[in-house]
Structure 1
């Protein structure tokens, strides 16, 4: 995957060691809030796939958010 999907330049906070906004969100949101954020973004990119930008790029973005959601849900061995 390219940087436009995994690590877009416009989501880095300059002056803070180039920290990425996703890392800030992970740090300040609860586990449940971060899961909701990732779930919503997964759906957003699936819904808009092929309607705004490159369809494959939108699907790749959905995949990244889905992977983050899975990883977040697996943390701590919690189950619902």
Structure 2
């Protein structure tokens, strides 16, 4: 599995473009959308899917990308 976590910050008005890309590339892939803590008009999208992250950054020029090396945590109950 991919150990790179892509965090993409973008304006909230571009969220429809993100959801459109998500349905085109891989709707079964997990994606987390959270509001930004610093400003009210920004959201942060987190995904491990490389193609989805690159499509979001390509389609939204004001988006900012951060790559984190973070292992996937598995919890077994």
TM-score, normalization by structure 1: 0.27
Q: Which has the larger radius of gyration?
A: 1
Greater relative contact order structure (CA < 8 Å, 6+ sep): 2
Structure number having the greater strand percentage: 2
Structure number having the greater helix percentage: 1
TM-score, normalization by structure 2: 0.28
